[in-house]
Each structure stands twice: as C-alpha cells, then as structure tokens.
Amino acid sequence: MEDLSLHMLDIMENSIDAGAHRIEVRIDEDPERDLLTLDFKDDGRGMDAQTLQRATDPFFTTRKTRSVGLGLSMLSESAKATGGTMIVESSPGEGTRVRATFRPGHIDMKPLGDIPQTLLTLIAGHPEIELRYDHAIAGETFTFDTRELRDELGPLPAAAAWRIGERIRKGLEQLARRAKHTGG
C-alpha cells in the first residue's frame, strides 16, 4: 500500500466485516521521539486465541471472498520496515485492538496519505458506523466523531459528504498549525 491512510481504510473495513458498530482510530505523532502510532479499537466479534495467533499470516483469512488476508500482515510489515512494531489484541465478543508504531524519520516510512478522504470513504460507504478519529501532534489533538456530527446534522446524507470532508481537512490543518506553533 502506498500510504498509511490506505492501511487505515483496510483495517477499518476489517472491523466492519467483523461486525463492528463502533470504530475508534487514533494517530499520535511525537516528533521529539520520532514516533508515530496508529491505534484502532472496535466492538466487533473479536477473535479467539487460535485466530489471533494467525491474524498476521498473509495466507490466512476468515473471509469467504478471498483466500489471503493481507491487511494486518501488510500493516505489520510497514511498521517493521521503519523499526516499529504491531500488536493485535482481541477476545471473542470483546472486539479487537490493533496498535502499530512507526519511526517517521526512517527512509522506509510511508506518507500518511489523504486522511480526510479515507475517513470520508468509510463514512460514505458505511453511514451506519460510529467512527471516532483522534489525531494528536506533540500534545495538540483534533477529534472527529460521527456521533457529534449526527447530533448536529441528523442522519448523514450523501449530500453532506463534501461538508464532512472539509470539516476533517480544516481540523487537521488547524491541528498542524497549533502543533507547529507549540514547537511540535
């Protein structure tokens, strides 16, 4: 995958395939420590110990539509390529958490990609999903939550897609300015 936002979309789609109704995504950028963390939590079916043990095997999948499961495997390899790690925690009925760390200064670090478009793609394709996105840079945080958006707009109509994308894009731009201003 070309960038981290595509990994994000794949992991969130996995969550939906696992029956998740709520997905939480957090990106934490720590420039001082040369560390970027992607953290995903969902309330899906979760995995038993045997499935969890094989979850990062590229030749294993629980899907019936294909015979490979590259999402977690590719995210893990992308993290390891920069000197980072990936941990998957899951229990049946409890959901799944995936946490990947990266070293942004490493030559093999992929760009973040178009985060607003990635989130918008997920929301447009699955308007019923509750999505919370937190993005922190050097202690400054931007939060986007579809529950708050639904409180404001009601059901999320397709016509609201442009406004949603702009809200996320502007929020991330403001976050970058604040983080730069505070020395991040």
Predicted confidence pLDDT, tens digits, the chain (184 residues): 789 999 999 999 989 988 999 999 999 999 999 999 999 999 999 988 776 676 665 554 554 444 334 578 889 999 999 999 999 999 999 999 999 999 999 999 999 999 999 999 998 889 889 999 999 998 899 999 999 887 877 776 665 677 788 889 999 999 999 888 776 5
* CATH code assigned at 122: 3.30.565.10
- Can you name the residues that pair with 141 across neighbouring β-strands? 136
Q: How many domains does the chain have?
A: 1
Which residues are CB-neighbours of 122 under 8 A, at least 6 positions away? 9, 12, 13, 129, 131
3-class secondary-structure state, position 158: helix
Whole-number pLDDT of residue 94: 93
The residue segments making up the domain with residue 25 are 4-181
> Which of 89, 164, 72 lies closest to 122, judged by CA?
164
Q: What is the pTM of this model?
A: 0.85
Alpha helices in the chain (DSSP H): 4-17, 49-54, 70-81, 115-125, 146-153, 161-181
